Amino acid sequence: MDGEIWRPSAAQVDAANVTRLMRAHGIERFDTLVARSVAEPSWFWDAVVRDLDLEFSTPYRQVLDVSRGPEWATWFVGGRTNVARQCVDRWAERTPSAPAVVWEGENGDVRTASYEELRALTDGVARALIALSVTAGDTVAIFLPMAIETVAAVMACAKLGAIWVPIFSGFGPDPVAQRITDARCRVVIVANGALRKGTPIPMKEVLDRAIDMAGGVEHVLVWERFGGGDLTPGRDVRWSDAVDTRVAPIDAMPLAAEHPLFIAYTSGTTGRPKGAVHVHGGFLVKIAEEVAYQADLHPNEILHWSTDLGWIMGPWEIVGTLALGGTVLLTEGAPTHPSADRLWDQAARHGVTQLGVSPTLIRALIAAGSEPGRYDRSSLRILASTGEPWDRDSYLWLHREVGDERLPIINISGGTEVGACFLSPHPVVPTKVLSVGGPSLGMAVDVVGADGDTVAPRAVGELVCREPWPAMTRGIWGDDDRYLDAYWRRFPGVWVHGDWATRDEDGYWFLYGRSDDTLNLAGKRIGPAEVETVVAMHPAVAECAAVGIPDAVKGESVWVVLVAKPGADVGDIEAQVRALVREHLGGSFAPARVVVAGALPKTRSAKIVRRAVRAALTGEDAGDLSTLEDPDALAGIRAAAAGGSS
């Protein structure tokens, strides 16, 4: 663990949103705010609502109710609100000409929607949904690339009280059908296509096949991203025919704070995906709090996170940015196409102030020879990341090459079911290399051992949360027992998240990957990220994954699957990697095999799926693989392992 790498200036602290909150309550030190936010959650979340001017058309009479236990906590009891009112309508009234959404297509097209224009489009979509008999409580699948129309679809559903179901824009028909069936969607909003890496993705054709498999879909609203395309008579409706932006404004429905907002699907290690249910009140308040106090977004600033609506960071950036009256930049396609410098070019041209990435994306850009120094990055104030633990070299590259050593890396950690994050640095305190900072405000997180007791500093343990929080899932859609089994029953009344974590004597926290990915070698436990960080030091390695493979003697042995840099010499790489790991971690952790493959299985949010790597090597069931961007990577790993590549 390294020391401090960034420290805020007095001017940065003075201008920060969280400083305003602290001053309003006479709090001088940030660690005092953290402690009070955890000890007095009702005080804190009420203070957030007031500081960020979040409206409840009917005031809540109680902030938190745990009468049914922490598993079923409810928030802002008796209050009524609506995310569309908070994110669109009130800004259309207050700052109608301010930019709400900027969109850039992969082909270079750029469009901007002001808050007034976004409201008109949202209301047009809402009218179209009403014509398709959508009412409060109905589920509507949204199968769209990131675009202005996507934001309007999300907000139209919210305005009517319908529950939107985001689906990754790159899915094939099977996972689309699975989500439509599980969420019982009668209506789907789809694009007839999208661009990714210069290739049109036939999203409407994928949906048609999915509907044939799923059944139950009565209406499809088709946004014509490209011209043409066949429609199914009696079922499909063209966006251009159904969405009229000249309609009279529609008032957002005042909804109970616990009214479902959307269902976010996340892959399980086995079985079908889990539908995490998020609600209007809790998701709005927690996400607005994070974007305000962690990303430090101000109303005249532009936030961009390289993501998709089907990953939790899609809803996070849309709801959080618009709730604060800021501008969200959405882009179509891959962040590495048409060049590895696309992100920096966009940041320069659009004046991005907050930029979010994943560690895997940065590693890919480094391997591709990306040169951020060629672009003006002076507008950037905050770099942010999430998705997986960092390796040191990539973290430092982001800090030096992108941030010019002047920007904090707000490295957050949470999850789809969390609805937000457990851990985060904040831009008013110093950051450490690779650290996820400390507890996010209001989050009673802890690191525990097998007995559920808090472990000592620097000891690796299970990340848990001892108290509920506003944005946590209200269960797994249609499966309460699965929800309780997944998170609450290991230590009753405590949320077990499935991450290995530690904290140092200074109070900085660090993650070591998923606890179900942990390597147990003859009784010696180690997180895969620790092995991968060492392997990544090898100059020929572009990226890698370490997994545990059954071993008759040790129980498990370490296998490493790596992707080499273009043109790298891999003739003796197995021996070299073993020596490197032995040198840095000890002989017990030296890999038994090193497999050189063409690619690693990743989600569209660029996260490496280690359980899929393990399954490719062992032949076991990998569980749900619908989030993989390139399933063919698994066949490549199997072939490389069988052929003795190393």
Residue 455: is its pLDDT beyond 60?
yes
CB 217 within 8 A of CB 196: no
Q: Is the pLDDT of residue 464 over 70?
A: yes
337-340 own/partner pairs: CB under 8 Å, 24+ apart: 337/106, 337/196, 337/197, 337/198, 338/106, 338/198, 340/365, 340/368, 340/369, 340/370, 340/371
Of 441, 391, 384, 429, which is closest to residue 411 (Cα–Cα)? 384
Q: Which residue, among 478, 474, 454, 479, has the nearest Cα to 466 in the 3D structure?
A: 454
Measured in degrees and rounded to the nearest 5, phi and psi for residue 19 equal -65, -40
Q: Which amino acid, residue 290?
A: E
Please give the helix or strand (H or E) that residue 289 lies within, else none: helix 280-293
Question: β-strands 555-564, 593-596: how paired?
Answer: parallel
Q: What is the reported pLDDT for 605?
A: 67
Q: Residue 553's pLDDT is what?
A: 66
Q: Is 489 helix (H, G, I), strand (E, B) or coil?
A: coil
Task: Note the pLDDT of residue 369.
Answer: 93
Q: How many CB atoms lie within 10 A of CB 205?
A: 15
Q: Indicate whether 268 pLDDT > 70.
A: no
Measuring CA to CA, how many Å separate 80 from each of 56, 76, 281, 341? 5, 8, 8, 45
User: What is the three-class DSSP state of 387?
Assistant: coil
pLDDT at 426: 98
What region does 434 belong to: left with phi over 0, alpha with psi -120 to 50, or beta?
left
CATH topology of domain 85-256: Rossmann fold (3.40.50)
Q: What is the DSSP string of 118-176?
A: HHHHHHHHHHHHHHTT--TT-EEEEE--SSHHHHHHHHHHHHHT-EEEE--TT--HHHH
Peptide bond into 539 cis (omega under 30): no
HEC states along 403-430? CCCCCCEEECEEECCCCEEEEECCCCCC
The whole-number pLDDT of residue 389 equals 83
CA distances 625 to 247, 268, 612, 615, 631, Å, are 42, 9, 7, 11, 8
pLDDT band of 371, cuts 50, 70, 90: very high
Mean pLDDT of 450-471: 95
Report the sign of the C-alpha dihedral through residues 527, 530, 531, 533, in that order: positive
**Residue limits of CATH 3.30.300.30 in the chain:** 518-642
Which residue type sits at 221?
L
* pLDDT number for residue 507: 94
What tens digit of pLDDT does each residue of 399-420 get?
999 999 999 999 999 989 999 8
Give which of 340, 367, 362 is closest to 565, Cα–Cα. Answer: 367
pLDDT of 372 reads 98
Percent of the chain whose pLDDT exceeds 90: 78
- pLDDT exceeds 90 at position 57: yes
pTM of the model: 0.87
Span(s) in the chain for CATH 3.40.50.12780: 85-256
475 confidence band (pLDDT: 50, 70, 90): very high
3-state helix, strand, coil in the chain (%, to 5): 35, 25, 40
Question: Exposed, middle or buried, 197 (CB in 10 Å: 0-12/13-18/19+)?
Answer: exposed
Q: What is the pLDDT of residues 246-257, one digit of tens each?
A: 988 999 999 999
Encode pLDDT of 318-358 as tens digits.
Answer: 999 999 999 999 999 988 889 999 999 999 999 999 999 98
Whole-number average pLDDT of the chain: 93
What is the pLDDT confidence band of residue 64, given thresholds at 50, 70 and 90? very high
Cα distances from 118 to residues 85, 99, 254, 304, 505, in angstroms, run 12, 9, 20, 18, 48
> Rg for the chain (alpha carbons), in Å?
24
Q: In this structure, what DSSP letter does residue 253 have? A: P
* Residue 602: both structure tokens together: 């990743």
C-alpha to C-alpha distance for 68 and 486, rounded to whole angstroms: 18
**Whole-angstrom distance between the N-terminal and C-terminal Cα of the chain?**
31
The residue that leads in pLDDT, 551 or 615, is: 615
Measured distance CA(366)–CA(394) in Å, rounded:
8
Phi/psi of residue 145, nearest 5 degrees? -75, 170
Q: Is the dihedral of CA 446, 262, 629, 400 positive or negative?
A: negative
Question: Which superfamily does 518-642 belong to?
Answer: ANL, C-terminal domain (3.30.300.30)
3-class secondary-structure state, position 261: strand
pLDDT for 645: 44
For 154-170, what is each residue's pLDDT tens digit?
Answer: 999 999 999 999 998 88
**At 476, is the pLDDT very low, low, confident or very high (cuts 50, 70, 90)?**
very high
pLDDT for 132 beyond 90: yes
pLDDT in tens, 1-35: 568 999 999 999 999 999 999 999 999 999 999 99
Q: Indicate whether 515 pLDDT > 80.
A: no
pLDDT band at 267 (very low <50, low <70, confident <90, very high): low
**Residue 235 · residue 242 · CB < 8 Å:** no
| Core vs surface per residue 103-118: b (16+ CB within 10 A) or e | bbbbeeeeebbbbbbb
What does the pLDDT read at residue 414? 92
Least confident span in 186-190, 279-283, 455-459, 620-624: 620-624
Write the CB contacts of 88 (distance below 8 Å, at least 6 apart in sequence): 100, 115, 118, 119, 122, 155, 159, 322
C-alpha distances (whole Å) from 322 to each of 262, 570, 579 are: 17, 48, 51
Q: What per-residue confidence (pLDDT) applies to 523?
A: 56
How far is residue 149 from each of residues 111, 209, 230, 392, measured CA to CA in Å? 11, 23, 20, 38
Element (H, E) at 222: strand 219-223
Note the pLDDT of residue 269.
46
The Cα–Cα gap between 326 and 318 comes to 10
Q: Above 60 in pLDDT, residue 454? A: yes
pLDDT above 70 coverage of the chain, percent: 97
pLDDT of residue 270: 47
